Amino acid sequence: MNLKALKIPEVKIIEPQVFEDERGRFFESFNHRKFEEMLNKKINFVQDNHSISKKNVIRGLHFQQYHPQGKLVRVVSGEIFDVAVDLRKDSKTYGQWVGEYLSALNKKQLWIPEGFAHGFLAMSDNVDVLYKTTEYWVPHDEKCILWNDETLGIEWPISELSKTIVSRKDSMGQAFLAI
């Protein structure tokens, strides 16, 4: 596995080593020991989630205020544009975002540590996203920042914003400056 830091260095791309021949492909999608060694940090995943979306669905920007979750995100079918927003008020990158394309083809995974909001845009007709979390989902603690918040200025790769599909709950998210 290769590890690459993004513009916000705590957010990482993980690329597995893929073995391919005439039979198909094989790769190790997760190895706890290697993952902790690469991050130089103890990680305890407690929950796996599976999100299924159709093209132009935007999910997020979600975070838990008092029970923050680290997330390891990967796509097993289709493609997404995945976004992490730094919510750590004492960070040099507070309020900044990073985005990365994750797909079944590129097999990249995105590590989003605790203290970040997370969201994604489904780029293909059907998308299956799997992600591990370091904290359980606590419904009354979940918060949402508007996906199109002007302060954040996320550059979602969609030409017609009117084609986006956003849940009622996500469309009622807070402004970044209000969190």
- Local confidence band at 25 (pLDDT 50, 70, 90 cut-offs): confident
pLDDT at 60 over 90: yes
4-25: average pLDDT? 93
Q: Are 38 and 3 in contact (CB under 8 A)?
A: yes
Percent of the chain with pLDDT over 70: 100
68-81: average pLDDT? 98
Catalytic positions, written as ranges: 62, 131
pLDDT of residue 81: 98
pLDDT of residue 11: 98
pLDDT of residue 95: 97
Which of 82-86, 113-117, 154-158, 161-165 shows the lowest mean pLDDT across its residues? 161-165
Which of 22-31, 67-76, 126-135 shows the lowest mean pLDDT across its residues? 22-31
pLDDT at 58 over 90: yes
Within 10 angstroms of residue 52's Cβ, the number of other Cβ atoms is 12
Query: If 0-12 CB within 10 Å is exposed, 13-18 middle and 19+ buried, where does residue 6 land?
Result: middle
Query: If 0-12 CB within 10 Å is exposed, 13-18 middle and 19+ buried, where does residue 144 land?
Result: buried
**What are 120-177's pLDDT values in tens digits?**
999 999 999 999 999 999 999 999 999 999 999 999 998 787 889 999 999 999 999 9
- Local confidence band at 1 (pLDDT 50, 70, 90 cut-offs): confident
Query: SS in 3 state form for 18-58?
Result: EEEECCEEEECCCCHHHHHHHHCCCCCCCEEEEEEEECCEE
Average pLDDT value over all residues in the chain:
95
pLDDT of residue 161: 77
pLDDT of residue 53: 98
pLDDT of residue 63: 98
Structural domain harbouring 71 = 2-178
Q: In the beta sheet, which residues pair with residue 53?
A: 127
CATH number at residue 153: 2.60.120.10
What's the structural domain count of the chain?
1
